[in-house]
A and B are shown apart, each in its own frame.
Chain A
C-alpha cells in the first residue's frame, strides 16, 4: 500500500529562523507530482509548493523550497525566514496513488514563535 510518513508530529521555530519538515513516502509509480499543503487555523487547505517527480531540480517558491530525493522517496520542505503567519499544519501529499489519488501524511504542526 502507498503510504506517506511525516515523522515530526510537532515542531517549533523562532521567527526569522529556518526549519525543515520531513516527509518520506512509498510508491511504485514513476511519474507523479508531490505537494506540500498548509492548513492554518482557518482550516483552509493552501498549496505551498509542488514538485514534478521527473524533474531533478528542486522546486522553490519564495521562502519555501524542497529537497526531493526520488530514489530515497524523500520530499522535505524548508521554510526560510519563518514568519508568524507560517504557523499551521503542514501536509505532504504525493499523487502517487492508484487512479491519480493523493496520498496524505498525518501532518506536522508547526508553531512559529515571536
Chain B
C-alpha cells in the first residue's frame, strides 16, 4: 500500500514562477488537506477537501489554489511564488466517519524554497 504519495520532495522556484505540488492517496479517504510547516509555527492548514468536487479554505489560503476532481488526487497550485511561501508542505488524508475523522496519514513532505 503506497498510502499518501507527495511529489516532489524538494523544489526551488524563482519569484513569480508557478508550480503544482502533487498529492495522491490510495486509501479511498474522503478527507484530504494541505499544510505548511514553518519554524516555530507548527502546522497551518492551507486548504482542505471533504470529498471529490468539494474544497474549502483553511487558515492560510492566500496564494494557493486546489481542486479535487477525483477521490485520490488533491494537487496544490502556487500561482505566482513569493519568498513568503518558502516552507515545508505536507499533504494528508484521513477517513471521515460523518462528523469526526480518524487519524491523518501524511505524505513525506515537500521542502520548497522561493528565491
By a beta-carbon cutoff of 8 Å, the part of chain A in contact with chain B is: 31-33, 35, 43-45, 47, 50, 91, 93, 95, 99-102, 104-107
Contacts and interface: CB of A to CB of B under 8 A. Distances in A.
B31 A50 contact: no
Interface residues of B, number: 28
Interface in B31-48: 31, 33, 40-45, 48
Given A47-B105, A50-B103, A104-B43, 20 more contacts: A31-B99, A32-B100, A33-B100, A43-B111, A44-B109, A45-B90, A45-B104, A45-B106, A95-B101, A99-B48, A99-B50, A100-B31, A100-B99, A100-B100, A100-B101, A101-B33, A101-B48, A101-B58, A102-B104, A105-B42
A24 to B, nearest CB: 15
B77 to A, nearest CB: 21
B5 interface: no
A66 B70 CA distance: 37
Interface string B86-109: 001010101010011111111011
Interface of B: 31, 33, 40-45, 48, 50, 56, 58, 88, 90, 92, 94, 96, 99-106, 108-109, 111
Contacts, number: 58
26 contacts: A31-B100, A33-B101, A33-B102, A43-B108, A43-B111, A45-B90, A45-B104, A45-B106, A45-B109, A47-B105, A50-B102, A50-B103, A91-B43, A93-B104, A95-B100, A99-B50, A100-B50, A100-B100, A100-B101, A101-B33, A102-B33, A102-B104, A104-B43, A105-B42, A106-B40, A106-B41
A35 B92 CA distance: 14
Contacts of B100: 31-33, 95, 100
A106 B40 CA distance: 7
Contact of B42 (A35, A95, A101, A107): A107
